[in-house]
Structure 1
């Protein structure tokens, strides 16, 4: 009988050891993460951590910007919008009543925000579309004037500028706004149909004793009927009815006073009038391949855009003079008088300037009403 009792005691101890081992395994496995979604972009959002637990759970975060709430076995993690460039991290610690704990890392990426456009775009008066590259992790808005429309596209943001029919240059500023910052881009529409109008002309001319004196007059630029790129300066010459021709290049925004152009005939004096340029070297030239150029300037800070044309020859030209080949620059244009309809120099044919406009500049102004 003693042998039997000892056997049963051994069997009982074996069951006891087995039971204790099962309890320990259950305690270790009483809390585990089943699923988590807590890697965030820079935008404010929420994610969840789902756990398996044998008892109620609690959760805490080690960072103030990362907040947690618990509902059953689900921990909801919330993060605000982050405007930093470098990502940040937090840890959420989940515990249950059996003192089991798990730690789950949380990450939020730095935000990307850039508008990869120039500050200023110059465009023609025709309707046009331009795409501005934009990459943003943030929601953003775009403010724009009524004559510009826009939409988000895969490449960024498309702007469509309606045709400018105002008769003047115009500007419009679009403003990108996000939590990260703002970006302003200004569009300017300007073309051949914005040239005509009233201008203030400033230049130097001959005074007493052939000294240079400065003068300012109001003139009109009239657009040609047959060629829209040709304009006529009315009021620049002191001879009533004489208009000086100019030509506008819409690609380079250059307005050129044309040289060697027949302006008319004064019957009473038997004078033939032509436009003639003068070089800095003091020579006069009738060559029609020459011109007195000006590149349009627009001050985008002005409330109304008014083109300004400072005439200046930057390329220069070469010609044969009394001392050989001379390189010079055009610094004036004027109304020149000839004795015949041929604008040639010599044999008493060239009678001299009637008007001369040195260092000429013209700026469009509001017309008087």
Structure 2
């Protein structure tokens, strides 16, 4: 019994020592530098921000990322951030020390944001003097490149993101167009601006009913209200000329399937196109579309699909 009583007193003593030790312990956070100002949030265009430190010792600073460089002048650290040409945002840290204390300061930069509104751009212009514009909203600088072969008739003026394209009158009687390239960081947009009269004589390359490649002249007439008529050469003697009517909207021409093309003897003719799978349909909701492409040699071509 005496042994049990002694053991009980010993355990109580240990418990008291442990409890007293827990009550006397307080956590002390590591001491850091006194950062009075940190302006390190950047848009994609980059720039310079500062960190202000209150310290009696000389400061040293290092950056964890190569796109942010730092320099020290007294109690001020300047952080220079390069342009971010990626759409991804990025972050890093700047470590500041006075030889005794150290602080970590975060630096953050937004990704590139660039929108180009082309809804007001005239892709296809007639041969007269013309102008239309686009709107660019970019968080970084951008460049507009008009190819050298088009600078004699096509120019642009940028007024705070409203870019107006001006076209001189086309007196050459030859269709002309240019691929204008807009770049902002890693983003690249190509705009085609053309000037010609769709009505007139064009050269058509196509496969005839026997699958043989054929080239012939096609006469295109302007019917008004953005409607045109394409007249091909008659396939047989005394046969009528195949005539296709198409509509135009925003640089794209469309021919409806299953439309009437006239009469040949006792036959009524309709224009019906085959699909890529070789099937035919009378459905007039199907259309074949075409828009114009411009090659580097300024040759304009159009493929109907």
TM-score (norm. length: structure 2): 0.56
Deviation at 1:47, TM superposition (A): 1.9
1:51 matched residue in structure 2:
54
Match for residue 184 of structure 1? 188
1:141 corresponds in structure 2 to: 142
* SS of 1:140 mapped into structure 2: coil
| CA distances 1:33-72 after superposition (whole Å, capped 9, x unpaired) | 584344342624142526374xxx411124365533334x
How far, CA to CA, are the matches of 2:284 and 2:50 in structure 1?
Answer: 73
Look up the match of 1:306.
301
Structure 1 residues 114 and 39 mapped into 2: Cα distance closer, same or farther (>3 Å)?
closer
Per-residue CA deviation, residues 303-359 of structure 1 (Å, 9 max, x unaligned), is 53311235xxxxxxxxxxxxxxxxxxxxxxxxxxxxxxxxxxxxxxxxxxxxxxxxx
Asked if the contact 1:176/1:183 (under 8 Å) is kept, the reply is: yes
Aligned to 1:246: 244
**Partners in 2 of 1:277 and 1:226 — Cα distance?**
23
Q: Which residue of 1 aligns with 2:92?
A: 88
Unaligned runs of 5+ in 2: 1-32, 126-130, 274-282
Q: Can you list the C-alpha shifts for 1:98-124, whole angstroms capped at 9, x where unaligned?
A: xxx5545433113321334599x9954
Unaligned ranges ≥5, structure 1: 1-31, 96-100, 206-211, 264-271, 281-288, 311-369
Distance in 2, matches of 1:226 and 1:68, equals 68
Change (3 A) 1:217 1:91: closer
Q: What's the offset of the Cα at 1:86? A: 3.1
Count residues in correspondence: 238
Q: 1:236 to 1:307 in 2, by over 3 A?
A: farther
Q: 1:125 Cα deviation (Å)?
A: 2.1
Task: Tell me, in whole angstroms, the C-alpha distance in 1 between the residues paired with 2:268 and 2:166.
Answer: 39
Deviation at 1:199, TM superposition (A): 1.8
Q: Which residue of 2 aligns with 1:255?
A: 255
Asked whether the equivalents of residues 171 and 186 of structure 1 are also in contact (C-alpha less than 8 Å), the reply is: no
Out of 134, 141, 145, the position equivalent to 1:130 is 134
Conserved? CA contact 2:230–2:246, under 8 Å = no
> Normalising to structure 1: TM-score of the pair?
0.48
